[in-house]
Amino acid sequence: MRVPDAMTQQALFELMARARARRDDALLQMASGRRVVSPSDDPRAARELLALADESAAVTSQLRTAGVARPWLELAEDVVSTIGERLTRASVLAVQGASTALTSAQRASLADEIAGIRAELIAMSERQLDGRFVFSGTRTDTAPFDAAGAYQGNADAVEIRLDGQAVALNLPGNAVFGEVGVGGPLDTLARLEAALRADDIAGIQAAAGALDADLAANSTTLAQVGTRLIEIDQATTRLEDRKLRLAARADELGAADLAEAITAAEQGDAHYQATLAATSRLFGPTLFDYLG
């Protein structure tokens, strides 16, 4: 009888181990909320879950990039909008200064205000974000203009890749502010100030016309920045939707069915206890009675 008893004991051990494993697996699913806890639980699902996790991490990285990009464009939008307001004021002053009814002293007063507007624009051109100049192209460690008003940046833009598209984060300073001796707002304001101080009516009128062109260009630039912000918002929405779809698929593959897990745990425990009881009946009080 020793050989059959040993074989029977081994068989019961195996039955108990399987029942206990099923019960413990179900309890782990209940505790973790996951059906696939290790690759051996479902190799195919585990591989797909790993791929989903990698893709989700890439999407999260893209969302962080979008979060970094937006402040650059918001700052540019604020500055370009403010420039438009200041140029509108300068245009009003130019019209006043072109009037033959004004005295030299009055024009000098207008010139002082124009000088103040120009100083504001220079200060705005030096705006920084995280210690980097926003309006110097890719030369973000260099102030965009020198003391004489010459542009020191370049025509390139800081770019990011967002959802497969290149998005420029900044604008070259000479495209936004112009450049003394070349053209654009800073040059126009310098010429207007000089014409006002010289009582040069023709020069004032010429500067007024240039201001109209500068304002039109400013509106175009503002629209461009707005378009880039919209692109970032749209890309962010697409990325967030993709992240939700990835999470839903991961749940579909790996989430535990709580009711099913409870049933499996109960069945596994019942099988385990039944095997334990059978062992006790067959072999009498043994170590099995204390395994529970």
Half-sphere exposure of 159 (CA within 13 A, CB side): 9
Alpha-carbon torsion angle 93, 94, 100, 103, nearest 10: 50
Query: Is 0.85 topped by the overall pTM?
Result: no
CA gap 235, 246 in Å, rounded: 16
Written as one string, the DSSP assignment of 207-257 is: HHHHHHHHHHHHHHHHHHHHHHHHHHHHHHHHHHHHHHHHHHHHHHHHB--
Question: May I ask the CATH architecture of the domain 71-249?
Answer: Up-down Bundle (1.20)
Backbone torsion region of residue 64, taken as left when φ is above 0, otherwise alpha when ψ lies between -120 and 50, otherwise beta: alpha
CA gap 16, 284 in Å, rounded: 17
**Contact call for residues 171 and 190 (beta carbons, < 8 A):** no
The SS3 call for residue 277 is: helix
164 phi/psi in degrees, rounded to 5: 85, 0
User: Tens digit of pLDDT per residue, the chain (292 long)?
Assistant: 444 466 666 666 666 666 566 655 555 554 545 555 666 666 777 777 678 788 889 989 889 888 888 999 999 999 999 999 999 999 999 999 999 999 999 999 999 999 999 999 999 999 999 899 999 999 999 999 988 888 999 988 888 888 888 888 888 999 999 988 899 999 999 999 999 999 999 999 999 999 999 999 999 999 999 999 998 999 899 989 988 888 888 777 765 444 554 555 455 555 556 665 556 665 655 544 545 5
Distances (CA, A) of 42 to 36, 247, 274, 292: 6, 18, 28, 29
